[in-house]
Every structure is written in C-alpha cells, then in structure tokens.
Chains A and B, each alone.
Chain A
Amino acid sequence: MENVISKGAKQSVLGYLATAGVVLLLLMVFGLVMRTVQAGGAEIPAEIFYQLMTAHGIGMVGIAGICGAAIMWYFLGHYVKLSTPVFLLNMVLFLIGVVMILGAIFIGGFAGAWTFLYPLPAYSGGAWEPGAAVVHLSGVLLIGVGFLLFHLDTGWAILKQYGSLGKALGWPQLFGGSTEEAPPPTVVAATMVLIVNVLGLLAGATILVISIVNLLVPEFGIDPLLGKNMIFFFGHVFINATIYMSVIAVYEILPRYTGRPWKSTKPFLLAWTCSTLFVVIVYPHHLLMDINMPTWLAVMGQVISYLSGLPILVVTAVGALTYVHRSGLKWGMPASLLFLAVFGWAAGVIPAIVDGTIVVNLVLHNTQWVPGHFHTYLLLGVVPMAMGFMYFITNNDGGGLDRAALWAFIVGGLGFVFTFLWAGRESVPRRFAEHQSEWMDVDALGAIFAALAILGVVVFAVRFLSRLGQTAKA
C-alpha cells in the first residue's frame, strides 16, 4: 500500500533538488573552464586549475549523491515511513561540509583531487598547509556522516516494514518459491543501496579519519596500498550508489507514461542481488596497475567488471526498452530524459568494461578514457535521471524550449564524452593542467560540446526553479 508524501517532505525534496540544480551548474562551468584551459583558450595558474578540478570532482560526487538521495527518499517514502528530520539533517551536514570544502580549496589552496589519495593530502608540494587539508577532509567526513544517517534511517524503515534485508531484496520470491508479491523495485533498489553504501561510507570515514590524524600527527601513518584500497572501495561504491538511487526515478516515473508498471520480476530481483555483490567486490579494477596487489584480486576485478554489465545491460536497459516499445507513449520531458538516462548508463558501462580488462587498462588507465566513460554514465545517466525527476515533481511535460534544450544536451553530452574517449585513445593523460599542442584540437571540441550540454542544463534548471514556488505550495 502506498503512503502519501506529506507537504513538508515534498518541500524537503524540492530543497535538495534546488541545491543540486544550482551547484551542478556551477560545477559544470568549472569543468568547462578546465577544458577551455586545456584547449589553450584561456590561461590560469596550474594551482587554480587543480583547485577547480578538486572542487569539480568532489562537488559532482556529492551532488550526484544528493540527487540520488532525493529521488530515492521521495519514492521510498511511498512504501515505508521515513524521517523528514533525518533527511533534512543530511542536507544541513552536506551544506556545512560544502562550505568547509570550498573554504579549504579556494582559501586554503587544497588541491588533492576528490580521491584525496593517501598520503597526498600530507604532501602538498607547497600548495597548501596541513590545516587546509584537515578542513577539506573533515568536510568530506561530515557529508559522509550525513549520508550514513540517511541510510540508517532508510534501513530502519525498511526493516520495520519488511522484517529483513533479504525479504526487502525479494529473496523469498527469488530463492524460496514464495508466491507472495515481491517488494516493489524502489524498495529492492533502496535495500541494495543501503547495504553497499553503509559499507562504502564506513570505509571512507575510516580512511578520512586516518588521513586527518596523519596530517595532525605525521608520525602516524598506514600502509599506502591499504589506504588506496579503502579510498577506491569507498569511491567506487558511493558513486555507483548514486546511480542505483537515481534509477528509481526510471522505475517509478516511466510507467506513468507507458501504462506498463515496472514489476519486481525474478530476473529483476536476481539482477539487484547480483549487483549488491558485484558493486562491493569489483573495486580492485581501479587498482589494476598496482602490480603489488595480489594477482587474484586483479583477475577478480576484471571478471566482476564483465559480470557487472549483465544486470545493467540485460535487465535495466532491456527492461526500459521493453516497457517503452509500442506502448503508445507520449513523450513528455520526464519520460524523454529518463529514457535517455538509461541509454547513458548502459552506454557508459561499455567503455568502462573495456577499460576493466587488465591488458587494456595497461594503456588506458588514467588517460582521458576514464573521464570519458564515467562522464557517459554520470552526465548522460545520473544528470538526466535527476532532471527527469525535476520535471516530474514540478508536473511539467515541457514545451518547445525544453525539447530544444534536450537536443542541445544530447548532442553536447554525446560530443563531450566522445572527445574524452577519443583523447584516451590518443593516450592523453587525465588531470593535466597544461596540454601539448597536438592534444588541443580535441580539447577545444570538447569545450564546445560541454558548453552546449551546459546550455541544455541551464534551461532544465531554470524551468525547475521557476516552478519551485507553486510546486512547494501544492
């Protein structure tokens, strides 16, 4: 039985989305500046470039989390009883964390990238003081604590309603032959995210605390390879969880246009159970160039990378195609953006799997191939999921301007990610403040496409913000 979302809860979700829309645009502009600088179209000191890069990276990860949390919380609230104060507390901690992070970066000069790869925060090369690194990492920690509380609340609510995580994942229907109706897709997805993200956040909090102590007491340190494992486990899980939270918008909104409800079928339940396991154990594919890692872990990283594609391509992508095919669908903006988002997610998985092959990773790791594939499933996956939800919650099917913006976003987004992938093919390193002249033509093309995609998002965000007042009152 579906609950009705209260007005206060809906307003909280709108607050999340408004924050996400504004910050997303700002961070996209940071990205455009970086591509323009790499193309030779503007000059900024390298220190500033890396500060922008750090803000862009950590900010986008955080905003993807905020978008995912808003989508998941809104729809999960239809099935279980969630706490609005905890939801708001997450946002408050997020905003405090953002202020700390921005202060550490643009006042303190911290530029350790969003991965804060231990022990880099303690080795600034003269660019920042340890205090700036402590403030930055503490800000990230605070945001992590907020998300942990958020998940504990969703976990508590799910357990109260369904009795166990296994039941919420539909295991009695999947493995036990139960003929009862399985939990809805939103509950299954939220349970998966709960499991993986609590593990990821705990690992992230641990390495953040260790890094902070290392900065305050340099004699205290840990094995850098262990630190790297913890960071990439946390980073991989958290960013993937943002997609798994956001895809709930597809399950919930698309059926309202197609008239075909998205059901928790056995393949669906199996896919989500497999994804729960895969997301947790696949992270060694980020460490394939760490020759000192046990070889079996690298092999597992490759094999699980391959297997991870199956639930996404065979279940979610085929599912979206099935529900839309010959459904008599009238394309409003929510449906259009969400359909695009499933494509973006599935398409991004392909170059990611290719790069997850050890012998390929040898020549693509840390080239621009990497931002190529993750921008595919974040820019063309998570962003349209969030934007589709914004159009949905403001009850806006869009008009001519919105459709023009959508096409600008599609062309700009696709062009942008392909310039990254092409540059990866050309062995162009990622995260370089200055580029060689032979790399600049592709950079310039990337900047043009980025500007086009940003133009689309400006329209999406402005349309959302302009209807915010009337939606909040409704």
Chain B
Amino acid sequence: MQDLAWAISLWLMALLAIAFVYVAVKSGDKADAAEVMSTAGKIRTALFWIILVAGVPITMVTLTDLPYAAQSDATAQIVKVEGSQFSWDISPTRIVTGQPVEFHVTAADATHGFAVYDDTMTLLTQTQAMPEYTNILKYTFAKAGTYKVLCLEYCGSGHHVMSEEITVVAAGGN
C-alpha cells in the first residue's frame, strides 16, 4: 500500500510540475488573453470531469473494506493492549497465524498510537490508544515471526522508546 501511495503521489505531482514548467517556458510569448482563457476553460471542464469520473469509483473501491471492526469475531484471538508513558502492556504477546486477532487498545494516561511493524520495519496496521476508550483493531497475521509495536502518537519525552514485541507462531505449532 505504501508503494502504491508513493507511486500515485509521485506521478500526479510530476504531471502537475510538467504543466507548470510548460506554462513557465511559454510565458514569454504573447497571445490574446481571451483565446487563452477560452482554451483554459475547456481544459478546466475536462479536468473537472476526469477527476470526478475517476474519483467516484476510487472512492467506492477504497471504502468497501474499512479497517473498522463492525462486530466482534467469536473466533478471534483477543489481545489486550494498554499504552502508558512510556511502555506497552500487551497480553498475550504470543499469537498464531491465520486466525484473526482483535487488539483491544486503550491508554492509561495520555493518547498513544498503537502501531504494528513487521521484521522489515514496514508498518502493517495501527490505531489510536486513548484513555477512557477501547479501540478494537482487527488484523490477521499471515507469517510467523517477531513483530514490533511502536508508538505513533506523540506522548512526551519517552515517545520514541515506547517499543514492545509480539511473537506470532504458525498455527498448530509450539
């Protein structure tokens, strides 16, 4: 997902840059303003419709599978998580692959950010850890291994040391 976000952003920003550079290069020429405005009006209308026509299906597709837990899964592994300055209390820290996990995430003091990273330090999923609230975050681990939990909401002078590990074992294994 991160690669896709990067590629889309880069390409669209590059297209925009090309338009600006092109206009800057052509700015020294002198043309009738009304003629330029008329052409620009057509381009603007076309751009509006292109964005709208592309935007509607993109919106629909991206909203079909939201990471918000609609209802609790009876088969899920429940992992209780509490963030506090400046550590995580996670129980249990050993879970199995292939079976949905429900992280029940809260905080004891300020707001923290519960974020799960894989062994390549790629961010997999996250939710806010808030006092007085329990956020239920669903995730299914496909691979066994050691996963890292970092805090992604600034919470004070030890924010960057809030780190913990989760061990994921293969289903049926020890």
Question: Which A residues are within 8 Å of any B CB, using their own CB?
Answer: 46-47, 50, 111-113, 115, 117, 119-120, 123-127, 223-225, 228, 259-260, 267, 289-292, 295, 298-299, 302-303, 306, 309-310, 313-315, 317-318, 321-322, 324-329, 331, 339, 342-343, 346-347, 350-351, 354-355, 357-360, 362-367, 369, 421-422, 424-427, 429-434, 436, 438
Contact = CB atoms under 8 A, between A and B. Distances in A.
B123 A367 contact: yes
Interface stretch (B29-37, B74-82, B91-99, B164-172): B29-37
Given A313-B47, A318-B47, A429-B150, A326 B17 contact: no
Contacts of B66: 295, 298-299, 358-359
Interface in B23-82: 23-24, 26-31, 33, 36-37, 40, 43-44, 47-48, 51, 55, 58-59, 62-63, 65-69
Given A347-B13, A354-B8, A363 B125 contact: yes
B2 A427 contact: yes
Interface of B: 1-6, 8-9, 12-13, 16-17, 19-20, 23-24, 26-31, 33, 36-37, 40, 43-44, 47-48, 51, 55, 58-59, 62-63, 65-69, 85-86, 109-111, 113, 115, 117, 121-128, 130-137, 150-160
Given A290-B128, A318-B44, A360-B1, A326 B123 contact: no
Given A267-B44, A350-B9, A429 B115 contact: yes
A355 B5 contact: yes
B20 A321 contact: yes
Contact of B16 (A50, A343, A427): A343
Given A123-B110, A327-B36, 14 more contacts: A46-B157, A113-B154, A292-B134, A298-B66, A322-B36, A327-B30, A342-B20, A350-B12, A351-B9, A354-B8, A358-B67, A359-B66, A425-B5, A429-B115
Nearest to A115: B154
Contacts of B113: 289, 365-366
B48 A314 contact: yes
A436 to B, nearest CB: 7
A339 B109 contact: no
Contact of A321 (B2, B4, B40, B59): B40
A438 B26 contact: no
Nearest to A306: B55
Contact of B109 (A123, A292, A325, A430): A123
Contacts of A120: 110-111, 154-156
B151 to A, nearest CB: 8
A291 B137 CA distance: 8
B2 A425 contact: yes
A46 B131 CA distance: 24
25 contacts: A50-B154, A50-B157, A115-B154, A120-B111, A120-B155, A125-B85, A224-B130, A224-B133, A291-B136, A299-B66, A302-B59, A306-B58, A314-B47, A321-B20, A322-B36, A322-B37, A324-B24, A325-B40, A359-B67, A362-B1, A363-B126, A369-B5, A426-B2, A427-B117, A427-B122
B134 to A, nearest CB: 8
- Scoring B4, B5, B48, B69 by chain A CB atoms within 10 A of each residue's CB, the highest score goes to B5
A131 B159 CA distance: 22
A150 B93 CA distance: 54
